[in-house]
A = this chain, B = another copy of it.
Amino acid sequence: MVLMNSDEPWLTQTQQQVWRRWLLMNDRLTAALSRDMQRGSDLSLQDFGVLVHLTDVPDGRVRIAELAIALNWERSRLSHHITRMERRGLVRREECSQDGRGAFAAITTTGRTAIEGAAPSHACTVRRLVFDDLTDEELQTLGVITDKVLARLET
């Protein structure tokens, strides 16, 4: 058994540096991707996320609660967001015949056009900003790190 060095709260010098750069990088990356998509397609990253899930699925419609889980969003957040997207014609609410309480969110033709216009450029930007410079080994290590943190978050 190792010493319980977690009682000592502070980060090492290296950890601190990496942590600060990491936070900065996340901020800037999100801002860049967001700007890019907004300019190219008049969609927010959030809109894009919703539309991705709706195109992944038969009939282009999903139960709203299920969508909230997939997006890892609060239900009320999704409800508000769908209202706004509905106003812009990107999605449509449909009632559920199986369960009178429930509802579907369905992608519209306008929504499909929007995501088809946005996806290639977005993928390209992600590649350029994140992946193109990484070696195979770095990519793999990034996957390992991501999984380790996710595992920690689940405990």
Report A's interface with B, CB cutoff 8 A. 6, 9-11, 14-15, 17-19, 21-22, 24-29, 32, 72, 119-121, 123-124, 126-134, 137-153
Query: Which one, B123, B140, B150, contacts A28 given CB within 8 A?
Result: B150
CA distance A121 to B131 in the complex (A): 34
In Å, the complex CA distance between A105 and B151 comes to: 39
Copies in the complex: 2
Contacts A6-B127, A9-B121: A139 and B14 contacting too (C-beta < 8 A)?
yes
Question: What secondary structure prevails in chain A residues at the interface with B?
Answer: helix
Closest chain B residue to A150 by CB distance? B25
A19: chain B residues within 8 A (beta carbon)? 126, 130-131
- In the assembled complex, the CB of A1 is this many whole angstroms from the nearest CB of chain B, namely 14
Q: Are A15 and B149 in contact (CB under 8 A)?
A: no
Sample (20) of A-B pairs whose CB atoms are under 8 Å apart: A6-B127, A9-B119, A9-B124, A9-B127, A11-B126, A11-B131, A14-B140, A18-B146, A19-B130, A19-B131, A22-B142, A25-B149, A129-B153, A132-B152, A133-B149, A133-B151, A138-B141, A138-B145, A138-B148, A141-B145
Is B72's CB under 8 angstroms from A21's CB? no
Contact partner of A29 among B28, B123, B149, CB < 8 A? B149
